[in-house]
Structure 1
Amino acid sequence: MVPTLGHLGPLPVNTHDVFVGLGVMVAAVVFLLEARRRRVSDERVWIVVAGALVGGALLARLGTWAQHFDLRDNASLVEHWLYGNRSILSGLVGAYAGALVAKRLTGYRTPTGDLFAPAVALGMAVGRVGCLLTELPGTPTSLPWGITLSPAQVEALRPAYGAAAVAGVPMHPSFAYEIAFQLLIFCLLWRLRDRLAAPGELFKLYLAGYAAFRFAVEFVRGNEVVFAGLTRPQLFLLACAPLLAWHLTRQARRGVYRDAWRRTDRQPAPATEAAS
């Protein structure tokens, strides 16, 4: 566990925040490269990006507010904003909603999912390094690559994770699993970026892949089980999955994905026609 990377004068440099910032920077670079490659010239696309960032930041923080069915048992919104947890799943929903709102306000019609998908995947891979270095690794495991916490590390984690933080017991490195997944799906998205028959589909594929992975990895993540043996993220995914599955099924029937792996690479179309 590496909670800080050092100090800037009297201020500690928070490891998690540094890697989240690096992840955002990496995502921005990938987005810029793809926008240039696809010859995106409409400046309104940057308003869409701003909408995604604002929506993602807001819902990542506030999306975990309702921890209890009785709203009186939850912290106030101000307390939760200052001290509450952040959720990647809520952040992705917020970013998607923020981009849609920005498009509606600006009248920007061109799909942007193909620009966002590789950028988000690689940015997430970098950002999750901060989680790996600062958060509870996962549930106990007998596998040889388990992470074992020292008593001092457990004491630091105990206020946030309670009895789930145990010293001397190997635990699943769940965030390392996610980093590997994000790198793998980034490579897949990069390969498919000019091969789908409909614009904007890369981000839908990314969401579907991440949803399936996240549901599975939750079983070794160590999050609180709240209902029917499932965690809050798993319940959230079950609520959202039918809509995403319906969209992918409809697109598959239309043949959008049929020849993706057999197509030869082709040059991206200009921004007005691109699958962006």
Structure 2
Amino acid sequence: MVPHLIFGIPTHGFFVALGVAVAAVVFVLECRRRDALREESLVAVTGALVGGAIGMRLSSLAETLDPLESWMFGARSVLGGLVGAYAGVLVAKRIIGYRERTGDLFAPAVALGMAVGRVGCHLTEAPGRETGLPWGVHAPGTVPECPGCASGSAMHPSFVYEIVFQLAAFLWLRWARDRITAPGELFTLYVSAYAVFRFLVEFTRANETVWLDLTRPQWFLLPGLVLVAVRLGIGYRRGHYDGVLRRKVAL
């Protein structure tokens, strides 16, 4: 049985806070490695934290049109948090007039922080849709909004899928960071990979479908996937990914 509290903190909140702490440590270490640990980069982190918190709260407007109810009681969407964090960084950098790209500093930190934070989701939320696969998991019937939990069905461990993805992304980003030299492209590749993964993993999640058997996060992601495809195509044509694709540059 998963404890409701860890050191007096709700289990989900504990792992989210731990994930943020881990991400902060990785970010600082990456800044030091790139000799980019300056006041401006710390301001960007502050913008990410503030924007992420606001984005997670406001993202629940997809569930209710009451802004006050959304802010006070709304779900804390990871996608909303990521969009809010990105917007927060842009606003913070604009305020202080900082023009250098910081996404590549954030990418490994976000990946590892997400992996840690999703442990809390796995322990406290509905795992996923029912499955007959041998690695299906069972959750206590007390998990809210989880018919499969109450019936004792085996379900996809969808959050475990994401933990594995984020850990693999973190390791790949560490490998690729010195092979991709164009500023911002490492972050672009991570966001693109996560967008595709999140769209696909939604088919195993317990989220409600709203239209054409797609969930709200999937509809949220669809326009982004189009932009991602265009952005990756531009980067590929410009040779930004040759270092990881081992594509030879024509002389």
Contact 2:16 2:117 in 1 (8 A): yes
State the one-letter code of the partner of 2:29.
L
Rg: which structure is higher? 1
Letter in structure 1 aligned against 2:179: R
Deviation readout 1:208-255 (Å, 9 max, x if unpaired): 111111111101101000011100000011022112221111111000
Query: Contact 1:20–1:128 at 8 Å: present in 2 too?
Result: yes
Matched, 1:157 2:150: no
Structure 2 counterpart of 1:240 = 224
**Alignment partner, residue 2 of structure 1:** 2
| SS at structure 1 position matched to 2:112 | helix
Find the counterpart in structure 1 of residue 48 from structure 2.
52
Give the helix-richer structure, 1 or 2. Answer: 2
For 1:133-148, what aligned pairs fall within 5 Å after superposition? Answer: 133-148=123-138
Tell me the C-alpha RMSD between the 2 structures.
Answer: 1.7
CA contact (8 A) 1:3 1:133 kept: no
1:146 deviation in Å? 1.1
Amino acid at match of 1:2: V
Partners of 1:7 and 1:183 in 2: CA distance:
26
Matched pairs, number? 247
Quote the offset at 1:260 in angstroms. 2.4
Query: TM-score w.r.t. structure 2 length?
Result: 0.93
* Structure 1 residues 251-262: aligned runs within 5 Å: 251-260=235-244, 262=246
Matches within 5 A, 1:76-115: 76-115=66-105
Cα 1:255/1:145, change in 2 over 3 Å? same
More relative contact order, 1 or 2 (CA 8 Å, 6+ apart)? 1
In structure 2, stretches of 5+ residues that fail to align are: none
Report the 3-state secondary structure (helix = DSSP H, G, I; strand = E; otherwise coil) of the residue aligned with 1:166. helix
Alpha-carbon distance in 2 for matches of 1:167, 1:51: 43
In the alignment, what sits opposite 2:59?
A: 63
Match of 2:151 in 1: 167
TM-score (norm 1): 0.85
Using a 3 Å threshold, how does the CA distance of structure 1 residues 6 and 204 change in structure 2: closer, same or farther?
closer
Identity across matched positions, percent: 57
Which residue in 2 is equivalent to 1:224? 208
Which residue in the other structure is 1:23 paired with? 19
Q: Which amino acid aligns with 2:243?
A: D
For 1:86, give the aligned amino acid: R
Shift of 1:262: 4.4
- Contact 2:130–2:148, Cα closer than 8 Å, also in 1: no
The CA distance in 2 between the partners of 1:164 and 1:77, in whole Å, is: 31
Matched position secondary structure for 1:157: coil
* Shift of residue 163, structure 1, vs aligned partner: 3.7
For 1:7 and 1:104, how far apart are their aligned partners in 2? 39
Where does residue 131 of structure 1 map in the other structure? 121
Closer, same or farther in 2 for the Cα pair 1:26/1:6, shift >3 Å?
closer
Matched, 1:208 2:185: no
- Structure 1 residue 204: Cα displacement: 1.0
Q: Secondary structure at the match of 1:169?
A: coil
Q: Could you tell me how far 1:166 is from its partner in structure 2? A: 3.3
**Structure 1: distance between partners of 2:211 and 2:113:** 31
Gaps of 5+ in 1: 68-73, 264-276
- TM-fit CA distance, 1:102: 1.0
- Whether 2:22 is the aligned partner of 1:33: answer no
Which stretch of structure 1 is more off in the superposition, 79-88 or 248-257? 79-88
Structure 1 residues 84 and 164 mapped into 2: Cα distance closer, same or farther (>3 Å)?
A: farther
Structure 1: distance between partners of 2:211 and 2:29: 43
Q: What residue identity is the alignment partner of 2:12?
A: H
Q: Deviation of residue 14 (structure 1)?
A: 0.7
Which residue pairs with 1:267 in the alignment?
none
